[in-house]
Every structure is written in structure tokens, then in C-alpha cells.
Amino acid sequence: MDFLKKKGLVFTIDAFVALMLAVVTVYSLFLIYSVPESSGGAYMQAYYLAKDTLSALDEADCSGKTCLEQIGEAGLGASGGSVGGTPLDVAKAIIPEQYGFRFDVYDAQSGSWISAYDTATDPTSNHAKGMKKFEANAKSPVSGYSVMPSGMGGVNCGEGEVCAMPASTYNPGEIYVGLVRVSVYI
Amino acid sequence: MKKGIFFTAMFVVLLSILLISLSIWAEENKIKEKRLPEKIKTDSFAFLLSQITDGKLSEAANLSTYRAMGCLAQYELEQNYGGLGELGGVKNTIIALAENGSVQIGGTNINCASVGADEELVALEGEGITIISQPQFTLRQWMESVNGTANEMGFEVKFGKLKLDGASVEQNTPWSVKVSFEVDVNITDFEGKMYLAKSLTASAFVPIEGLPDPLVGRSYWSLQSQGGYTPSLPLVRQIIHNENLEDADSVKPEELVNDESGIVNGAGWFYGQIYEGDEPSGEEHPERIIWKTGWMEPCIGIGNPMEYGACVYSFWENISAVGAVIITNTETHSEEVLGGVRYYDVNCLNCREWIEYDENPVGYEPSVTLANESDKPFAAGSWPYSASISDGMYVLIANEDWDAATINNKHRIYSIENLREVSKCQLYVENADAPSYLQRFLNGGYGQASEFGIETFLVGRIYGGDQDPLKAETNEHNRIDHKYFEPTAGGNLIVKGMSGCKTPTMCAEICPSASTPLDGCLGQFRMDTEHLLFYYGDEYDEALMTCPSGGCSQ
């Protein structure tokens, strides 16, 4: 009887432990899956990569202007065209290859975003191609000359006979205001 | 049994610790996730602040002020506005136009959106050159764009009105205007949790290059109207300059040759291009050519140059076709005694021929006559003078009036291309006795002078030329713009080599029908002595450079 009593206790404890394990397992799974992927740290990491890239672009020199201005100019400037050269080198030095990244420029006048670069469409880039899980971004306003002032003090007719009066070649330039968005995705 | 319970208890404790850790980790992540948007907003706020700076405002101020000055100048031209009263008004008007693109002055409303349609410049020949007006750009547009980008980031940026107290618009060099002002800015997020107020200071150096000159156009209109004529279009002159020719020193004539460096003789004056070939008469406009040649050089190797054969004839044919001659070798002498008379024959153009009587008969004195006489303007000499003037150069041959008996008169060859360039291109040049660009907005601006003053030459068919109905009067005027419209009777000298007076023939009348230059009738370029000294400096010699009372026939 004592034995039976002891055996019952063992089974009871065993059953209790088993139940508890099952509950713990379910709870653990619930805990893990109830936390969104973003809070897994990867999202934060992607955001900080985007932010650091944006800060570096604002500091780096790209032909006499900041690389951030160069991206803005590429997106909104009269010359148009996509981003290349130093801004890409800066971004590639910061963002690991398992991430992809994209530069977009917001035109305040038209209220639309313009894509200036995406590793997904760059066959020369070793970075990730296209977003599979999530992306994070950081934004900074940017403004400057999309067309630099030029052509001052160089009017020339040449010697000898009378020439037609030349019009000034001076161009006071054009200024743009926009927003650069660096998106990092995986 | 006891061991089993102990291990079970330990397992439960460890499991609990694991679960608690997991819970804490998950909770922390949730908190982090909740804070992430705030972190992103804080970072965005920092980025926004870093881009709303004095430097960015100054860039916008630079372009908007440039546009504002262009708008005001065009308005004055299009509306024949009399000009502003004082420089303070110019400052306030320009700042208001830079900020909003419009301003109310008295009962007049200036709106840049309706000012500055395509304008026409009057070219040197009188033909029009259209200048496409620039798109409007105001500080308020820039501020709205900044706010638009801020809105996209979840913020609002509100700029106040520009503070006129302490603002300045002043000429800081002849070619630029310094603009400075302050403006307050408030930045908030949409939820109203973040707020920052700051003051921005703009400081911009705005070039005036390419802007219309309000004073020339207005004054031209006024002068023509007083004469009973109304121009059909507003006359627009742009401020243009060449950095290599922006002051009097850089415009001065260059003396290429003088008496000490080789010229021994010469007569008359002429401006033209040097031609070093053998047959200048075959050129398209030989009358515009200065033929540089040795004395009968084309004949060398053909025969005795002193024999008046075909070769010599060719020489004289060329001489008669060209405008002027530069002889590059000195005279050669030969001596002959015939019947008691010694002849010193000379071998050159317009040389002195000395005749000496050995026996000196009563009543006869040694005499001088001209040999190989020609009325062509010329200069003659030997190296090194001929080395400094070469084929293709444009030069002014200037000699004092020819006198066969005088050997000490002056002979020079100048390059006046810098002054001609400034005149032809209608460039502006610095002069502290002239009004600055900002003073040109003023009513009576031509009575002003500034250390940053600029002036230009008025040359063209509409200024004393064949398209100027008042040419009989205006041809007498000083070609310096701020003197042209304040005519003084007489006192302005025709300048040799400049437009309308490149040759004695051209200079004989305002619009000579027989020798109208290819570029049309431009009237005669005149300046007063004050400006001749200013532009010619030490090189100025009235007899050589200008046509004084005796005219320019020689």
C-alpha cells in the first residue's frame, strides 16, 4: 500500500512535470512567435545601418559637395541620372553584403519619390537583391545647387572687326529642395 | 526518491529561470520596438536641423536676390519706371521681391510673375538678341519646399518674415552685391512633442553678371522720347564683363613700336589687319589691309628693282589697293653727281631726297623733296620693330602729321584691341566716377558715383548710327554711358581706330556712303579728355590718338 501510494505520487509528479514541460514549451513558442521579427534586433541593425550611412553621406566629400547633396542632385537635378562613384563606395563600406540598400529622393514640389539607386537593379553589386524579410530606412532633407552658377566674366568677342553683341553666358544656377531616403533591406 | 525530487525541483527552477529570462528578453524587445519610432523621429529631427542652416538659407538668398534684381530692372525697363528715390528703397524693394516675388511701392505693384517676359537686347548692328527670362525663384518658395520635405518626415517648419532691421543689400565689389538678413524658424513635430525655435542668418554675395542695366534702357527711352521718337521695344543691356578687361589698366593701348625701337619714318594713320603676303590687292577687302612688306621686296630676285618694269608696277598697284603700308627695311642711299649737283637718291616710300649743289650757285640752296611719293598711311623702319608686329595682327599706325622737312615727329604702332574689345562687346568696366549697379536703379542714377562704379560704352547703330533718328546730335556725344545721356556741347574727341573712325576716309563723316564699313554705320566713337586719360593713361597722346580740331583727314 505504501508502495502503491509512493508509485502514485511518482506518476502524479511525472504527469505534473510532463504537463509543465508541455505548458512551458507552448509558452516558449508563444513567447518567441508573439515577438515580431523586428524586435529580433535585425530591424534595429538595419535601421542603424541606414542612419549611419546617411550620416556618412552627409559628411563625405563628393567633388566639392556632400555625397548627400550629390544624391539629391542626381535625383532632382537638371542633369538627372543615377547615383554612382563615391556615394556608393561610402554605402558599400558601411552596409554588409547580406543586406541590400536603396537611395530614393523626394521631390517636394511634385510630392513624389524618385529612385536614385537600388542594389537590386545593379548587376555589379554583391549586395542582396530585393527585400525578402523587412527593410528599414532613414531620411534626411537635402538642398543645394542642382545647376551650379557658372559663366561669369568670360564674355569675349575676339579681335578685329565688329561682332554682334554677345549675350551673357552667366547662369545663376538652380536650387532644389528634397529628401534623401536610405533604405536597408534583407 | 529524495534525489529524484531534488533533481526535479532543480529542473523546475532552471526552467523557471529560463522562462523568466525569455519573458524579460521579449518584454525588453517590445519596449525597444515601442521606442524605435521615437528614436527614428529623434534622429530625423537631428537630420532636419542639420540641413536648415545659415549656409542653405544663404544659397537660397543668393539665387532669389539675383532673380529679384533682374525682376526690378526689367520692371523699370518695361514700365518705363522713373527709378527709385534712394538706396534704402532699393534695398527694401529687392528684399521684398526676393522674399515674395512681389512688392507694393506707393501705388505701384511690382509682380515678378508678370515681369520679365522674353526681352530683346539690341545688338551692335541694331539686330535684336532675345534673352529668355529666368524662372522665378523666391525665398518663400524655398521655405515652402523645405516645409514640404519636413512634412514628409512628420515635422512642420515655419519661417517668419524676413527681418528688415539689420538687413542689408549693398554693393561690395563692382561685380557683386552683398545681401544679409535674419529670419526666425520654428520646427515642431505633428504631435507637438518636439519643438525648436532658432534664428537663421543669410549672407550672400550675389553677382550682377547677366542682369539688365535699368539705367541705360530708361535713359535711352527718355532721350529718344525727348527727341520726339518712341522706341518700340524696351532697350535691354546686360551687365557683362571680362575678368581680363575689367578695369582701365587692363584696357590700355599697348605700344608695339615707337621711334626708339625702329621706326624712322611714317605718315598718316590707319587701323587694320596686317597682311604679309605678296599680293594684298587680291584679298577680299584690300582697303582694310595694312601691307607689311620690304621696299619692293616682291621684286627681289626678279631683276633690277629700280627698273620700272612689271615688278615695280605690281608694287605700286598693291600699294594703291591696300589701306596702309608698313615698310620693314630702312631707306638705302645712292649718290650721284651730275653737272655739279650731288643727288642723294633714296630707295623707299615717301623718303626725303637731298639735293646738294657742289658748286653752290647763287640763289640755290640744298633742298629736300619727296621720293616715291604716296599718300598711303605708312610706317617705315627696320628690325627690331618689324619683329613685334606680324601677320594677322590688328594695329593702329599713328604718326604725327606728315612734314617732309621734319624728322622729329612721332611715329607709333599700337595695339588697341583691349579697348576695342570692351567697346565692341559692350562690356562694363570699373570706374569709381561711375554709378554702381544698385545706384543704377535710382532716379538720376547717372548723377551718382561709387567706389564700386561701373560704366560701359554705347556703340551701335542705335547710338549715333544709322538707326538713331537723333544721330546728328548723339554722334557728338561721349560714348561713356553715364556721359552719353548728359550731353555736353563739344569737347568729345573722335578716337582713332575705334568704331566709325578706323580710317581717315571712314572718319570723315558720320555715315560715309562711299566707305560704309561692313558692320554698318555706328557713328563715331568719341570720349572726353578725362576718359581718354583714364583709359589710355601714360600712353595718351592727343595728336596720335584722336582727331582734334583739325579732323582726322590725315
Q: What are the tens digits of pLDDT across the range B371-397?
A: 677 888 888 876 556 678 889 999 999
Please check whether residues A170 and A136 belong to one and the same domain.
yes
Contact residues, chain B, for A151 at CB < 8 Å: 209
pLDDT band at B83; cut points 50, 70, 90: confident
Cis-peptide, bond into residue B384, ω within 30° of zero: yes
Instruction: Phi first, then psi: give them for residue B196, nearest 5 degrees.
Output: -145, 135
Please check whether residues A130 and A72 belong to one and the same domain.
yes
Please check whether residues A57 and A25 belong to one and the same domain.
no
Would you say residue B308 has pLDDT above 50?
A: no
Q: Checking DSSP bridges between strand B289-293 and strand B269-275, what pairing results, if any?
A: parallel
Please check whether residues A53 and A84 belong to one and the same domain.
yes
Residue A4 is placed in which grid cell? 502503491
Please check whether residues A30 and A59 belong to one and the same domain.
no
Whether the CB-CB separation of B471 and B488 falls below 8 Å is answered with no
- Cα B343 to Cα B304, B330, B336, B349, B368, distances in angstroms: 20, 18, 5, 17, 10
Residue A107 is placed in which grid cell? 521631390
**Average pLDDT over every residue of B235-261:** 88
CA distance B343 to B335: 6
Range of the domain at A26: 1-34
**Average pLDDT over every residue of B120-136:** 64
Provide the residue-wise pLDDT of chain A in tens; the chain has 186 residues.
555 566 777 778 788 878 887 887 887 777 666 655 545 577 888 889 999 999 999 888 888 888 888 888 877 765 555 677 888 888 888 998 889 999 999 887 788 888 888 888 888 888 878 777 888 888 888 888 888 888 877 777 766 665 666 778 888 888 888 899 999 998
Nearest CB neighbour to A141, from listed B8, B124, B146: B146
Would you say residue B124 has pLDDT above 70?
A: no
Q: Cα–Cα–Cα angle for B49, A180, A80, nearest 5°?
A: 130
Please check whether residues A23 and A48 belong to one and the same domain.
no
Nearest CB neighbour to B145, from listed A108, A152, A173: A108
CA distance B397 to B390: 13
| Disruptive mutation site among A25, A165, A168, A183 for chain B (greatest number of B CBs within 10 Å) | A165
Would you say residue B351 has pLDDT above 70?
A: no
List the single residue in B with minimal CA-CA distance to A48.
Answer: B40
pLDDT band at B366; cut points 50, 70, 90: low
Please check whether residues A92 and A145 belong to one and the same domain.
yes
Complete DSSP assignment for B428-478: EEE-TTS--TGGGGBTTGGG---TT-EEEB--STTSSSTT-TTHHHHTTS-
**Average pLDDT over every residue of B178-185:** 96
Beta strands, E only, B74-118: 102-105, 108-111
How many Å is the maximal CA-CA distance in chain A? 133
Contact residues, chain A, for B127 at CB < 8 Å: 164
Higher pLDDT, B139 or B489: B139
Would you say residue B502 has pLDDT above 50?
A: yes
Please check whether residues A29 and A81 belong to one and the same domain.
no
Highest mean pLDDT among B10-24, B150-164, B329-343: B150-164
Please check whether residues A28 and A44 belong to one and the same domain.
no
Please check whether residues A154 and A108 belong to one and the same domain.
yes
**Average pLDDT over every residue of B231-238:** 78
Please check whether residues A44 and A11 belong to one and the same domain.
no
Whether the CB-CB separation of B515 and B506 falls below 8 Å is answered with yes
Tally A–B CB contacts below 8 A: 189
CA distance B73 to B79: 10
Please check whether residues A98 and A17 belong to one and the same domain.
no
Nearest CB neighbour to B209, from listed A13, A54, A153: A153
Percent of chain A with pLDDT over 90: 8
pLDDT at residue B277, rounded to an integer = 86
pLDDT at residue B289, rounded to an integer = 92
- Give which of A92, A158, A161, A101 is closest to A131, Cα–Cα: A101
Domains identified in chain A, total number? 2
